[in-house]
Amino acid sequence: MKHILTRRSIRQYSGRDIEPKLLNRLLTEAARTQTMGNLQLYSVVVTRSVEGKAALAPAHFNQPMVTQAPVVLTICADFRRTSKWAECRKAKPGYDNALSFTNAATDALLYTQTFCNLAEDAGLGLCFLGTTIYMPLPIIEALKLPKLVFPVATLTVGWPAEEPPLSDRLPLESFVHQESYHDPTPADIDRFYSEKEARPENQEFVRINKKETLAQIFTDIRYTKKDNEMMSKGLLAALRHQGFLGENRT
């Protein structure tokens, strides 16, 4: 797994397709990941068609990777298949609730990341689209996801046609705590973030956006309170629409 040290998100892909045989091998091997009760509470929708990608693009703010990558994978938390199994076997499923959604989303995200590691190890490049949970309803419609299926991750996948610089990471002590959580002091924050803040590309970001600090780029532009609260409502509404907040209907 040496690739992990040099991995970067890849947003530009060569014209080369991904052979179904390779994709299926990676999707099969990723399923060795641990899963709750061995139930595999996830599903993957593979989008290769031009029309399929065009239908997904708006939900991802029309980021060009969606239409340019040979393959788009939408990974879903899925309690549908397991519930159908139960119904076919004289068993009464009870998975229309927040805990079951969280269990299935966990399964789906662990599966997703093993797939990423396997795909990158095989030389593929990919980009994880965090937009999946920003506007889930158009994705649910485009992929015809029924109740108890909910998209939690999207990957655009292809053969790399770029080699962007490695992105920075915080020092280990900023995110690893011994025995109990150490709440960071202002001095800790200075130590953790000084390298990130000093990077020329980040200073340039601050300058061109006419902000005072790098943190303001995140709070005022990229991930604002207003957007987060609006999209939280949309996320909860979509979860309800897919039947995952059943216990809250009263």
Q: Which of residues 77-116 bind its own copies (CB under 8 A)?
A: 78, 80-82, 84-86, 88-95, 97-100, 102-103, 105-106, 109-110, 112-114, 116
Q: How far apart are CA 157 and CA 161, in angstroms?
A: 12
Q: Decide: 30 and 146 in contact? Cβ < 8 Å.
A: no
Task: Give the DSSP H or E segment for 25.
Answer: helix 20-30
Query: What separation in angstroms does the CA of 132 have from each of 42, 77, 145?
Result: 15, 12, 14
CB of 149 to its own copies, least distance (A): 6
Which CB sits closer to its own copies, 14 or 167? 167
Which CB sits closer to its own copies, 14 or 87? 87
For 216, the token pair is 């303001």
Residues 143-202 that bind its own copies (CB under 8 A): 143-146, 149, 152-153, 167-170, 172, 174-181, 183-184, 186, 189-190, 192-193
SS3 152: strand
Stretch that binds its own copies, among 11-19, 57-65, 72-80, 157-165 (CB under 8 A): 72-80
Q: How far apart are CA 225 and CA 223, in angstroms?
A: 7
How many residues does this entry show for the chain?
A: 250
Which CB sits closer to its own copies, 15 or 233? 233
The residue within the footprint of its own copies, chosen from 67, 117, 138, 191 (CB under 8 A), is 117
Taking CB under 8 A as the rule, does residue 46 contact its own copies?
yes
Which CB sits closer to its own copies, 15 or 185? 185
Q: How far apart are CA 230 and CA 250, in angstroms?
A: 23
